[in-house]
């Protein structure tokens, strides 16, 4: 049967519509792709991303969970981030740890996000030394020539590392990270605005503004 091929075709049409901002059309195409092939992990992932854009996090999580069954690392990463946002880091860390084991052939951006999110989950669990290790690792990836080109969320790891240092009362180092966080941060990123507020407060308090 040709169903998987047709399913892939609908998935690609969905991506095209999604890129053009036609979200309802994209959703219909992804659902059609999944009607033809319920195991199409990429269609589950894309539908999850779309629901995440629409702030429908429960629907996003269930689509990512299907994509995780197809062993899509980017789905594990996105699902882990949603668990972190719900303050359930214990559900995020196994997904991220497993993905990091399998990530050497993944694009740099994916490896960066896995390390950054793992550091974030560890920070939530107060495992500060390990959090520092993964966040400095993420920053090292992001500051390679390739990383500077490909990674648009470089601020995030700095904003998180600042919080690690604050909790360790390494105040000078925290301020340096807050400065980089505020220089690189963007209010268009879903995670960074709340951190930019923290950065602003910390820098203001230290008389650095």
pLDDT of residue 60: 98
Tell me phi and psi for residue 112, to 5 degrees.
-60, -50
Please answer whether residues 159 and 142 qualify as being in contact, where contact means their C-beta atoms are separated by less than 8 angstroms: no
Tell me phi and psi for residue 59, to 5 degrees.
-65, -40
Given pLDDT bands bounded at 50, 70 and 90, which one contains residue 92? very high
pLDDT of residue 208: 86
Among 91, 84, 142, smallest CA distance to 117 is for 84
Instruction: Give SS3 for 22.
Output: coil
Among 98, 114, 93, 200, smallest CA distance to 157 is for 114
Mean pLDDT of 43-49: 98
> Which residue is associated with the tokens 């995670």?
191
Superfamily of structural domain 1-70: Tetratricopeptide repeat domain (1.25.40.10)
pLDDT by residue (tens digit) across 106-161?
Answer: 999 999 999 999 999 999 999 999 999 999 999 999 999 999 999 999 999 999 99
pLDDT of residue 151: 95
For residue 6, is pLDDT > 80? yes
pLDDT of residue 110: 94
pLDDT of residue 145: 95
As a whole number of angstroms, the distance between CA 139 and CA 118 comes to 13
Tokens of 157: 């790891």
For residue 1, is pLDDT > 90? no
For residue 34, is pLDDT > 90? yes
Mean model confidence pLDDT for the chain: 96
Ramachandran class of 126: left when φ > 0, alpha when ψ lies in -120 to 50, beta otherwise = left
**In the chain, where are the structural domains located?**
1-70
Query: How much of the chain exceeds pLDDT 90, in percent?
Result: 96
As a whole number of angstroms, the distance between CA 33 and CA 109 comes to 27
pLDDT of residue 2: 87
């Amino acid at each position: 049967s040709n169903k998987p091929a047709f399913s892939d075709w609908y998935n690609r049409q969905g991506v095209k519509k999604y890129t053009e901002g036609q979200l309802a059309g994209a959703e219909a195409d992804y659902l059609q792709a999944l009607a033809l092939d319920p195991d199409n992990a990429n269609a589950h992932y894309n539908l999850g991303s779309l629901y995440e854009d629409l702030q429908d996090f429960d629907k996003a999580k269930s689509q990512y969970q299907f994509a995780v069954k197809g062993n899509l690392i980017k789905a594990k990463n996105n699902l882990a981030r949603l668990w972190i946002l719900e303050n359930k880091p214990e559900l995020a860390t196994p997904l991220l740890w497993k993905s990091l084991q399998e990530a050497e052939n993944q694009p740099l951006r994916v490896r960066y996000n896995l390390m950054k999110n793992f550091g974030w989950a560890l920070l939530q669990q107060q495992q500060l030394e390990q959090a520092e290790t993964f966040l400095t690792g993420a920053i090292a990836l992001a500051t390679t020539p390739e990383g500077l080109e490909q990674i648009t969320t470089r601020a995030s790891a700095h904003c998180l590392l600042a919080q690690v240092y604050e909790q360790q009362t390494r105040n000078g180092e925290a301020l340096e990270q807050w400065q980089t966080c505020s220089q690189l941060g963007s209010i268009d990123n879903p995670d960074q605005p709340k951190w930019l507020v923290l950065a602003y407060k910390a820098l203001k308090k230290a008389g650095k503004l």
